[in-house]
Structure 1
Amino acid sequence: MTSDPYEEFALPDTELAVAALRYAEELTEPFVFRHSVRGYLYGRALGERRGLRPGHDYDDELMFVATVLHDIGLSEEGNGDQRFEADGADLAERFLREHGMAEDRVSVVWDAIALHTSAGLARRKGPEVALCHAGIGVDITGRDREELPEGFADRVHAAFPRENLAYALTDAIVAQALDNPLKGSPLTFPGELLRRHVPPGTMPDWYDLIGRAGWGDRPTAGG
């Protein structure tokens, strides 16, 4: 292993990529930042396993920027009144526009960040969005980890330690939603996490919502 993990793993080194990496490092807690780097590395590795070549089948800089910025909605600067994914996408959008990124590319990053918790949706977008989602998923839930090269995850974790990432990240999302209910609306991913941290019955589920709609609908025989 080299002394510099960024060189060891050949992270994109364009001016924009480096700026995005440093921006994410400045804004987010270390465990969030390292998760974001791991997400990129896993996404790239999954892409290679699936026959996708960076710079040919997808824009590697674009995927990198989206992945390293995907959780900036959990930072103090990114903490607004929307679910953290949308707050992060909006903050990334402003950052990238300030750095002169073309609007069509900014839109891809926005989609990747806003959809990174949306299973079944992100993979239907372009390869940059899909790989961002896939890499993040590996690091959180271990989904598709068997597709990674043998020993690769060990090398990545040695360079970018986990620090109980899955639970620490969950706690950060819940903390934001407890402080501001607008960030944990029912039926959203943050809302689902929040549900376990509030008194039973506090958060309506889907059946509660349709029951309160006021239209007089009644359950069908199959419901």
Structure 2
Amino acid sequence: MLVPVRFDDLVIPDTPACRGALEVATGYHTPSLLNHSIRAYLWAAAYAQGNGIAFDAELLYVSSMLHDIGLVPEFDSNVVPYEEAGGHVAWAFCAGAGWSPERRSRAYEVIVKHMWAEVPVAEDPEGHLLELSTGMDISGRRTDEIPAEVRREVLERHPRLEIAKEFSVCVADQGARKPASFAAGFVRDGIVDRIMRNPLDA
């Protein structure tokens, strides 16, 4: 971290789109998946602030709230990977929110890219931050780059509940049904073991 970060410095944008995205996530996600989505935004915002990364907070928040919506039964797809399904849901949601076609496409891209191994920050800061923060929250990668006090506060306010168990089941199911997907590759590479060893659960 280049700049000191406190939990109280992390701002959730108060816009109709952000409120709506939280409402959708609350309505369709389990409590564990909802808290994961909120933490994904907070880890991303903390990392960005500490490292001087400028980002579109509304775009990142909406994408964070909807990035796993393709895992829920109502939006699961037997045709495309869950991140693509979630990206399409986000595109439709953002159209209803009045976003331009270009901005809707950005939400789709950010959600799809959260499954990439790496997203260059110079090319896509929001995609970079969501890819990084979801990896932190699910497998514990680079969690030491978030200040300990911020980690403690985030986990107290948005506890992990059963996310390790729930996400392990979800990713295994997605991998089995969609063998060409990123989820399947993650399963083959041992993602379930990494989930169960996440230092955030220690």
- Using the size of structure 1 for normalisation, the TM-score is 0.74
Whose radius of gyration is greater, 1 or 2? 1
Post-superposition shift, 1:74?
0.6
Q: CA deviation at 1:195?
A: 5.5
Q: Which structure has greater helix proportion?
A: 2
The aligned residue for residue 179 of structure 2 is: 185
Measured in 1, the distance between the counterparts of 2:116 and 2:130 equals 12
Cα distance 1:123–1:51, how it changes in 2: closer, same or farther (>3 A)? closer
- How far apart, CA to CA, are the structure 2 residues paired with 1:113 and 1:66? 6
Cα 1:40/1:150, change in 2 over 3 Å: same
Return the letter of the residue paired with 2:128: A
Change (3 A) 1:125 1:44: same
Describe how 1:28-177 pairs up with structure 2 within 5 A: 28-52=29-53, 57-81=54-78, 82-121=80-119, 123=121, 125-177=123-175
Is 1:26–2:27 an aligned residue pair?
A: yes
Number of aligned pairs? 181
Assess if the C-alpha contact under 8 Å between 2:91 and 2:104 holds in 1.
Answer: yes
Any idea what the Cα deviations from partners look like across 1:81-120, whole Å, max 9, x if unmatched?
Answer: 2111111111111111122111111111111111111112
Task: Report the alpha carbon displacement of residue 133 of structure 1 after superposing the two structures with TM.
Answer: 1.3
Q: Is contact 1:170–1:193 with CA below 8 Å preserved after alignment? A: no
Question: How far is the alpha carbon of 1:51 from its aligned partner?
Answer: 0.9
Q: Counterpart amino acid of 2:104?
A: V
| 2:118/2:128 contact within 8 Å kept | no
Runs of at least 4 residues of structure 1 off by over 4 A? Answer: 193-196
Match of 2:12 in 1: 11
Q: Which runs of 5+ in 2 are unaligned?
A: 1-7, 190-202
Distance 2:19 2:134 in 1: 20
- Deviation of residue 76 (structure 1)? 1.8
Which stretch shows the higher mean deviation, 98-107 or 159-168?
159-168
Deviation, structure 1 residue 174: 2.3
Question: Which piece of structure 1 moves more, 123-132 or 157-166?
Answer: 123-132
Name the SS of the counterpart of 1:185 in structure 2: coil
Deviation at 1:175, TM superposition (A): 3.0
Q: Shift of residue 192 of structure 1?
A: 2.9
User: Residue 122 of structure 1: CA displacement?
Assistant: 6.0
Are residues 122 and 189 of structure 1, via their aligned partners in 2, closer, same or farther at CA, if it must alter by over 3 Å? farther
Structure 1 gap ranges (5+): 1-6, 197-223
Task: Determine helix, strand or coil for the equivalent of 1:151.
Answer: helix
When normalised by structure 2's length, the TM-score is: 0.81
Kindly report the root-mean-square deviation, in angstroms, between the aligned alpha carbons of the 2 structures: 2.2
- State the Cα distance separating 1:123 from its structure 2 match: 4.5
Kindly state the Cα deviation for residue 150 of structure 1 after the two structures are TM-superposed. 2.6
* Aligned mates of 1:176, 1:137 — CA distance in 2: 17
Q: Classify 1:30/1:157 alpha carbon distance in 2 versus 1 (closer, same or farther; 3 Å).
A: same
